[in-house]
């Protein structure tokens, strides 16, 4: 195939990836339409983070192609790769903020690195995104002065500040309490709804969150997508693998060591 295809923002085509003798991705095929809020679920260690890293060219596959629109990520180098990465915002599992920088400096960092905006324009944009994530009052605070949920929101503001086409979230709610989880899920949903042309990919093993926010859920198991459907389908299907995962059962087709 040349290009991701009509209406498809991101396509993984026959991806294989091993680390040493550990064959992680085993022919991954996945096509995410433009404007979708996609949630990829799967067990810990199944290759969710590895999949996200392939989208941005942070990892290269051993075989297969990754298409971002009409660009084959596996062929890009140097300048083209840098340009490609600018089309992405990434929210890391641990907020990964710069501890010595305040919220303003953290969130403005991508604009300073990648744009020629002057300081007033940078400040206006930072204030705008901090407003979106409900942190206008924290602009001069250091990460050490913030709660876990606030740090997550700063991470989201930083990923969003340059208005990327793709927003990738790696386990955005893992380790948060249920109320904070609901707050972050709501923010992910509002962010997607506020940017209809943006494509969001959330990696998670939180089924409740997936049901609450996803347009479409993809289940990754043993390096392939084994089930895919909207939240209603996932809640009602008899597919034994999906039922086992959704209900957290020990018995079923998914082997439990």
Could you say which of 30, 41, 48, 176 contacts ligand ADP (CB under 6 A)? 48
Residue 181 is a binding residue for Mg ion (CB under 5 A): no
The site for Mg ion, by CB under 5 A, has a size of 2
The site for ligand ADP, by CB under 6 A, has a size of 11
Q: Which one of Mg ion, ligand ADP, none interacts with residue 236, CB within 5 to 8 A by kind?
A: none
Could you say which of 4, 10, 15, 24 contacts ligand ADP (CB under 6 A)? 24
Say if strands 63-68 and 88-91 run parallel, antiparallel, or are unpaired. Answer: unpaired
H helix runs in 162-251, sequence order = 178-194, 207-213, 231-236, 240-247
Residue 42 is a binding residue for ligand ADP (CB under 6 A): yes
Q: Which one of ligand ADP, Mg ion, none interacts with residue 46, CB within 5 to 8 A by kind?
A: ligand ADP
Nearer to Mg ion, 131 or 175 (CB): 175
DSSP assignment string, the chain: --SS-TTEEEEEEEEEEEETTEEEEEEEEEEEETT-EEEEE--TTSSHHHHHHHHTTSS--SEEEEEETTEEGGG--HHHHHHHHHTEEEE-SS----TTS-HHHHHHHHHHHH----HHHHHHHHHHHHHHTT-GGGTT--GGGS-HHHHHHHHHHHHHTT--SEEEEESTTTT--HHHHHHHHHHHHHHHHH-TT-EEEEEES-HHHHHHH-SEEEEEETTEEEEEE-HHHHHH---HHHHHHHHT-SSSSS---
Residue 172 is a binding residue for ligand ADP (CB under 6 A): no
Binding positions for Mg ion, 35-54, rule CB under 5 A: 48-49
Q: Which one of Mg ion, ligand ADP, none interacts with residue 44, CB within 5 to 8 A by kind?
A: ligand ADP
Q: Which one of Mg ion, ligand ADP, none interacts with residue 47, CB within 5 to 8 A by kind?
A: ligand ADP
Residue 173 is a binding residue for ligand ADP (CB under 6 A): no
Instruction: Find where tokens 């290269």 sit.
Output: 60
Of the candidate spans 47-55, 107-115, 127-135, 189-197, the one that interacts with ligand ADP by CB under 6 A turns out to be: 47-55
Of the candidate spans 37-45, 73-81, 112-120, 210-218, the one that interacts with ligand ADP by CB under 6 A turns out to be: 37-45
Nearer to ligand ADP, 19 or 98 (CB): 19
Q: Where do contacts with ligand ADP occur on this chain (CB under 6 A)? A: 19, 22, 24, 42, 44-50
Q: Where do contacts with Mg ion occur on this chain (CB under 5 A)? A: 48-49
């Amino acid at each position: 195939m040349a290009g991701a295809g009509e209406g498809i923002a991101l396509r993984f085509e026959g991806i294989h990836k091993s680390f040493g003798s550990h064959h992680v991705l085993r022919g991954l095929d996945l096509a995410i339409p433009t404007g979708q809020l996609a949630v990829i679920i799967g067990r810990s260690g199944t290759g969710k983070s590895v999949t996200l890293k392939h989208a941005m060219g942070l990892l290269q596959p051993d075989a297969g192609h990754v298409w971002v629109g009409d660009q084959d990520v596996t062929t890009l180098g140097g300048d083209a790769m840098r340009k490609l990465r600018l089309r992405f915002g990434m929210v890391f599992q641990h907020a990964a903020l710069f501890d010595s920088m305040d919220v303003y400096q953290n969130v403005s960092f991508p604009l300073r690195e990648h744009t020629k905006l002057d300081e007033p324009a940078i400040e206006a944009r930072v204030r705008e995104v901090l407003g979106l994530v409900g942190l206008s009052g924290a602009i001069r605070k250091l990460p050490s002065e913030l709660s876990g949920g606030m740090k997550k929101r700063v991470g989201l503001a930083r990923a969003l500040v340059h208005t990327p086409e793709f927003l990738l979230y790696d386990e955005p709610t893992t380790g948060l309490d249920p109320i904070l989880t609901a707050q972050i899920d709501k923010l992910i949903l509002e962010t997607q709804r506020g940017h209809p042309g943006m494509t969001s990919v959330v990696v998670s093993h939180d089924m409740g969150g997936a049901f609450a926010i996803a347009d479409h859920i993809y289940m990754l198991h043993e390096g392939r997508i084994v089930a895919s459907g909207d939240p209603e389908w996932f809640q009602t299907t008899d597919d034994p693998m999906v039922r086992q995962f959704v209900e957290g059962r020990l018995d079923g087709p998914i082997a439990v060591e």
